[in-house]
Every structure is written in C-alpha cells, then in structure tokens.
C-alpha cells in the first residue's frame, strides 16, 4: 500500500544506450540496470544520505519514514544481489549508527517501517549469512543487522497494545505512545506477519511473530456479516477496539493489497504454520476471479482482463497501478498451489498491464486506467477507449514497481523471454524519462517524452528496493534467491521486494 503525491519541476535529461559487444543480451541489460542503480544511489548518497529519500530536482532530502535513512536500508539487499561491494560497505558502515529508539518525526508508520526497514535488515541478514557471505569478512557485519532489527521491533511493538491485539499504525517511538486513529486498514494490519515472524525465528524470541499473528482471526472470520459478500474478500478498514470492519470497500488497491499478497507469502514462508492463510488466499482469489475480474476488448479484437473494485453493491471498472502486482501474486500462488488456472489468470492480468505500458509514448504505464465506456465518453476519452479498450484516468508515474514485479514472476514461472523484453522496454522508458541529471524523479505524464511532462521532486526509496531489483533479477540466471519455477522457493519477497529466507532452509 502506498500513498500518491504529485507536483512538478524540470531539468534536462540525457539518454544514451549502453553499447555492449561481447556480453549476451540479458547480461548487457542487467549491467545497464546496475548502472541505473548506481546513479540513483550516488545522487542520494551525495545529496540526501542519511535522510530518507533524495529530492532529485532540488538536490535536497526528504524524511517521510522516520528519518533513519530509508533509501539506504531499502537499497542494501539490491546492492548485495548486484554484488556491489562499495555500496554494500557504505550501507553496512552506517547501519550500526542508527538509533531506532528516537525519530526526527513525531509519528512513524508501523507498516512502512516494517516493510522498508525491518524487511531490508532481515533480507540483508539472510543474504549475507547465506549466498552472499563473500561480501563480508567479519560476521559481526551481518549480526549487527539482526541486532538492529531487534531494536527496531522493540521500539515499534507498543503498536500492538490494544484490546484486540490489532495494531495501531501511528507510533511516537520516542515517547512510546500511540498516535492517531482508533481504526486501521486491512493492509497495514495484514502486512506484518512475514517480517515479524522471521524476526522471531532468527532471534528465538516468539513475541514478535505472536504479536503480528494475533489479529488474523478477525480478518479470517469477518464481522459484521455484511462485511464479506464473497469468501476471502473483506473491506479495507477496521475498528481496532472491536476488531470489526467499518467500511464496505472491497478491492486489491492501496489499503487492502498487501494483506492478500501476504496470505500466500506467509504460507510459503512456513507451510505448517500458515495453512489457514493459504486457504484464505485461495478463497480470496477464487472470489476475485468470479466477481472482480472484468474483460475489455481492443480495436484489434484482443481480450484484456483487469480487476475492478466494489463498494457496497457498486462495481467500478477501474484499476490503479498499485493493483498491477496481482498478476505476479496469482502466478506465485498458482505455482505453489499447483493451480494452473490461477497461473493462467496471472498471465492474463500481467498481459493487461503490458498493454497499458506499451500504449504510452514513454512505454511507462499510467497511474490508473478505466475500461468503462460511459465514463470514457463523459471524460472525452472515447477515442483512446475504442482503440485500447481502456483509457488513462491518472497519467502520472511515481516510480512504482508493481508491473515490473509481475513481469518478474511471469518470467521466472513461465520462462517466456517476452517478459524479459517487456521489463527491459519499461526500464529504458523509466531510465530515460525520469532521469533528472542527479537521480530519478516521479513524472506527471507518461504520454510526454519530454521529461514526462514535468518532474515531481522525489526519488522514492522503492525505486532502489524494487524497480531496479525486479528489472535486474529478471535478466539474471536462476539462483536460490530467485523465485522458483515450479512452486519451490528458498526465499520469499516481502512487499518492498526484500527477499526473506523461508523457514527451515
Ligand atoms: C540510463 O540512463 C543513464 C543516465 O542518463 C544513461 O547514462 C544510460 O546510458 C541509460 N541506459 C540505457 C540503457 O539507456
Ligand atoms: C576481506 O579482507 C581482504 C584482506 O584483508 C580484503 O582484501 C578484502 O577486500 C576484504 N573483503 C571484504 C568483503 O571486506
Ligand atoms: C506465543 O504464542 C504461543 C501460542 O499461542 C504461546 O504459547 C506463547 O506463550 C506465546 N509466546 C509469547 C512470548 O507471547
Ligand atoms: C469502535 O468501536 C468502539 C466500541 O464499540 C466505539 O466506541 C467506537 O466509536 C468505534 N470507532 C469507530 C471509528 O468506529
Ligand atoms: C477455489 O476454487 C477451486 C476450483 O474451483 C476449488 O478446487 C477450491 O477448493 C477453491 N478453494 C477455496 C478455498 O474456495
Ligand atoms: C474474461 O476472460 C477470461 C479469459 O478469456 C475468461 O476466463 C473470463 O471468464 C472472462 N470473464 C468475464 C467476466 O467475462
Ligand atoms: C450500503 O448502502 C445502503 C443503501 O444502498 C445503506 O443503507 C447502507 O448503510 C450502506 N452500508 C454501509 C455499511 O455503509
Ligand atoms: C461507469 O461509469 C458511469 C458514469 O460515470 C457510472 O455511472 C457507472 O457506475 C460506471 N460503471 C462501472 C461498472 O464502473
Ligand atoms: C521443483 O524443483 C526443485 C529444484 O529443481 C525440486 O527440488 C523440487 O522437487 C521441484 N518441486 C516440485 C513441486 O516439482
């Protein structure tokens, strides 16, 4: 789940194609992604480190995630996977200096802190203790990552201090106080289990996993009864003190998305512990296919499939970019459960977002699209709708990873070269359109090749954690840290693309 923001400024962009002669195509592409990662890291390190994120246009710094260096922690495992010793060392030197017991910000988000920092620390620990141990000489370099993850969880765990055990999302870590709403969203409650359970398994302290699992019965047995019209699908907002649902919006968009994502990922992490999560995921996916999946047709007769939303009896034929991770999640779960039909729907949904990416002038997909003919006519977009089968309802691109993530799963699970080509096409578009001269920025309009119609002054940390990682890993060979072809996985990627070693491996 992420929050959207827009504004605009500009600078001159330069593009150049890397010419490689003796590398094969995939190696050449992987090297180009490594270069983009280095450019975004260098700009951050020079202008914004150890703040959370780079403002690439003004060359300033942003603190939105506690001010503990979100980009550094988000980038660490990407640098590890790329064998980038210099960047790994820069970040490992920094990690022991972070004080998670106080923050420059009054309120931090339990969810954001978990997926970026805890996920980043645990993933780096698992990789440096495992297949990337050659990147450290001294095992204390890795041990510190776990010590700091433990510190962070100690600092955050007050969030679970409620009648139901359901967490609050806003925490003042310095004063150890809950901030804000007595409600919480489905995604912010349901996207903790992987990281907190892994932390318990690595430290031997069962408290963390217990805390993150305690609210699950409220999500799996929804109350009141109107909350869940279809098995497995539930609304996006809850009352923390009662554990009851208090909205009737059902979708896979921000606020809900990674709850569904983690149901199957928790099962992959530990099948014996999380079989009820698997069952809920399968029910949710069955219900999604039966009720939310809709089709539209292009002018050339191609069928495209997308996921609609539902709110108290009303469907809306629209889909945000955030939801485009769903193809990859279906592919992953379908492969693990050996459900070829779910894999096939995952492919169909991934292909739907390729249609969106390939339709734009920059080859980057829009922030949201709709396949509602009436709404297209009302918006004066019937021409685009008639040709493409959809029209853009939000033209911006905010460096989001979800479509590249689905290409990644599609490639690993089907082995079809076209997904590598699609990922590369999107990478080239992002690399050239979003480049500011000093880091990469969000853009206002994917249909404008001239600096994307204007930059928004932010290089989100997930550009380094996710976009470059998925763009890189799809071009590299099978390995233990890659998603498995046949439903067997030694690592499972959290929602910020941090690979966590599955239990018992
Ligand atoms: C990516 O962008 C950088 C910065 O403009 C440029 O140096 C590099 O050549 C680009 N890579 C590709 C493959 O276009
Ligand atoms: C490990 O130590 C050797 C010898 O001191 C040094 O050459 C090498 O760069 C070090 N490697 C790492 C990953 O720190
Ligand atoms: C964790 O949960 C298990 C099972 O409910 C319980 O037996 C154990 O006491 C709990 N441990 C802690 C530290 O809360
Ligand atoms: C949550 O439930 C409590 C107890 O019934 C109630 O007092 C409170 O108003 C509810 N809050 C919201 C936001 O629904
Ligand atoms: C989902 O649908 C499949 C195929 O119809 C069925 O075999 C399976 O039992 C269903 N799973 C759940 C949890 O409803
Ligand atoms: C959409 O198309 C897919 C693939 O052809 C098909 O399986 C599905 O039943 C269709 N769904 C609807 C609602 O028409
Ligand atoms: C759903 O809509 C009906 C009217 O169509 C309204 O009476 C009801 O309160 C709504 N439900 C919720 C939970 O908002
Ligand atoms: C389609 O758009 C019309 C006009 O905005 C709206 O009334 C209708 O509810 C929409 N239907 C769907 C399924 O999105
Ligand atoms: C998948 O492949 C792995 C490694 O090649 C093998 O060990 C495993 O048995 C296979 N699993 C299934 C379900 O076919």
pLDDT value at 17 more than 60: no
The residue that leads in pLDDT, 310 or 19, is 310
> Looking up tokens 């996710």, which residue turns up?
466
Q: Please write the tens of the pLDDT for every residue from 195-208.
A: 999 999 999 999 99
> Looking up tokens 């034929």, which residue turns up?
317
* Residue 272 DSSP symbol: T
- Nearest Cα residue to 36 out of 418, 405, 432, 443: 432
Distance CA 202, CA 197 (A): 9
The string of DSSP codes covering 103-158 is -SSS-EEHHHHIIIIIHHHHHHHHHHHTTTGGG-SSTHHHHHHHHHHHHHHHHHGG
* pLDDT at res. 2: 52
What are the C-alpha distances in Å from 223 to residues 55, 218, 219, 428? Answer: 44, 7, 9, 47
Question: Per-residue confidence at 181, pLDDT binned at 50, 70, 90?
Answer: confident
* pLDDT at res. 291: 98
CA-closest residue to ligand 4 atom 10? 239
What's the chain's length in residues?
Answer: 505
* Mean pLDDT computed over 385-392: 98
What 3-state class would DSSP assign to 431? helix
Whether the CB of 207 sits within 6 Å of ligand 3: yes
**Which positions ≥6 away from 325 have C-beta within 8 Å?**
257, 261, 401, 402, 405, 406
pLDDT value at 14 more than 50: no
Tokens for 352? Answer: 């739907």
Burial of 488 (0-12, 13-18, 19+ CB in 10 A): exposed
What 3-state class would DSSP assign to 435? strand
> Looking up tokens 């300033």, which residue turns up?
60
Average pLDDT over the chain, rounded to whole? 95
CA-closest residue to ligand 5 atom 12? 283
Distance CA 473, CA 240 (A): 39
pLDDT value at 20 more than 80: no
Residue 288, annotated as binding a ligand: no
Tokens for 151? Answer: 């510190």
Distance CA 219, CA 214 (A): 10
Q: How many A from CA of 284 to the centre of ligand 5?
A: 10
* pLDDT at res. 4: 37
Q: Domain total for the chain?
A: 1
Q: Please write the tens of the pLDDT for every residue from 78-134.
A: 999 999 999 999 999 999 999 999 999 999 999 999 999 999 999 999 999 999 999
What 3-state class would DSSP assign to 250? strand
3 state SS for 208-220: HHHHHHCCHHHHH
Whether the CB of 488 sits within 6 Å of ligand 9: yes
pLDDT value at 177 more than 50: yes
Whether the CB of 224 sits within 6 Å of ligand 4: no
* Mean pLDDT computed over 260-275: 98
Whether the CB of 315 sits within 6 Å of ligand 8: yes
Radius of gyration of the chain (CA): 21
Structural domain range at position 68: 2-501
pLDDT value at 380 more than 80: yes
Whether the CB of 224 sits within 6 Å of ligand 7: no
Distance CA 315, CA 277 (A): 26
Q: Please write the tens of the pLDDT for every residue from 391-448.
A: 999 999 999 999 999 999 999 999 999 999 999 999 999 999 999 999 999 999 999 9
For a mutational test of ligand 2's pocket, the pick from 80, 128, 137, i.e. the residue with the most ligand atoms closer than 8 A to its C-beta, is: 137
* pLDDT at res. 15: 32
Count of Cβ atoms closer than 10 Å to residue 154 Cβ: 15
Can you give the CATH number for the domain in which 7 is found? 1.50.10.10
Whether the CB of 219 sits within 6 Å of ligand 6: no
Nearest bound ligand to the CA of residue 318:
8
Cβ contact 362:447 at 8 Å: yes
Q: What is the value of pTM for the model shown?
A: 0.95
CA-closest residue to ligand 8 atom 5? 375
∠ CA 378-384-385 to the nearest 5 degrees? 65
């Amino acid at each position: 789940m992420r929050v959207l923001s827009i504004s605009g400024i500009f600078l001159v962009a330069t593009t150049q194609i890397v010419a490689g002669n003796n590398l094969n195509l995939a190696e050449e592409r992987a090297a180009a992604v490594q270069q983009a990662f280095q450019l975004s890291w260098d700009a951050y390190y020079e202008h914004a480190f150890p703040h959370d994120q780079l403002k690439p246009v003004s060359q300033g710094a942003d603190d939105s995630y506690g001010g503990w260096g979100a980009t550094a922690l988000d980038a660490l495992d990407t640098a590890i996977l790329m064998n980038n010793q210099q960047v790994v060392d820069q970040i490992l030197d920094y990690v022991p200096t972070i004080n998670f017991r106080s923050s420059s910000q009054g309120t931090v988000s339990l969810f954001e802190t978990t997926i970026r920092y805890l996920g980043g620390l645990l993933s780096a620990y698992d990789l440096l203790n495992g297949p990337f141990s050659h990147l450290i000489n001294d095992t204390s370099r890795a041990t510190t990552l776990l010590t700091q993850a433990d510190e962070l969880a100690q600092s955050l765990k007050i969030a679970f201090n409620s009648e139901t055990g359901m967490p609050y999302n806003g925490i003042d870590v310095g004063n150890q106080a809950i901030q804000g709403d007595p409600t919480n969203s489905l995604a912010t409650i349901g996207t903790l289990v992987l990281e907190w359970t892994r932390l318990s398994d690595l430290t031997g302290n069962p408290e963390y996993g217990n805390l993150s699992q305690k609210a699950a019965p409220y999500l799996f047995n929804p109350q009141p009864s109107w909350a869940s019209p279809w098995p497995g699908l539930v609304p996006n907002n809850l009352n923390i003190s009662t554990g009851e649902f208090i909205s009737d919006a059902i979708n896979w968009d921000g606020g809900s998305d990674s709850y569904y994502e983690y149901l199957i990922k928790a099962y992959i992490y530990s099948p014996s512990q999380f079989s009820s999560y698997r069952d809920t995921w399968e029910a949710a996916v069955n219900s999604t296919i039966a009720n939310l999946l809709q089709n539209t047709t292009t002018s050339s007769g191609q069928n495209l499939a997308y996921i609609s939303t539902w709110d108290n009896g009303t469907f809306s034929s629209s889909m945000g970019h955030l939801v485009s991770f769903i193809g990859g999640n279906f592919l992953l779960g379908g492969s693990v459960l050996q459900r070829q039909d779910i894999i096939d729907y995952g492919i169909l949904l991934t292909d739907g977002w390729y249609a969106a990416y390939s339709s734009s002038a920059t080859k980057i997909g829009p922030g949201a699209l709709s396949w509602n003919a009436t709404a297209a006519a009302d918006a004066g977009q019937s021409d685009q709708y008639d040709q493409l089968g959809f029209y853009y309802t939000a033209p911006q691109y905010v460096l989001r990873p979800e479509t590249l993530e689905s290409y990644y799963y599609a490639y690993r699970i089907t082995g079809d070269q076209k997904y590598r080509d699609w990922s590369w096409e999107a990478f080239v578009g992002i690399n050239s359109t979003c480049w500011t001269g000093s880091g990469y920025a969000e853009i206002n309009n994917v249909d404008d090749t001239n600096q994307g119609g204007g930059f928004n002054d932010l290089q989100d940390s997930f550009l380094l954690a996710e976009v470059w990682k998925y763009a890189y890993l799809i071009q590299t060979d099978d390995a233990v840290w890659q998603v498995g072809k046949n439903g067997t996985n030694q690592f499972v990627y959290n929602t910020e693309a941090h690979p966590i070693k599955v239990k018992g491996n």
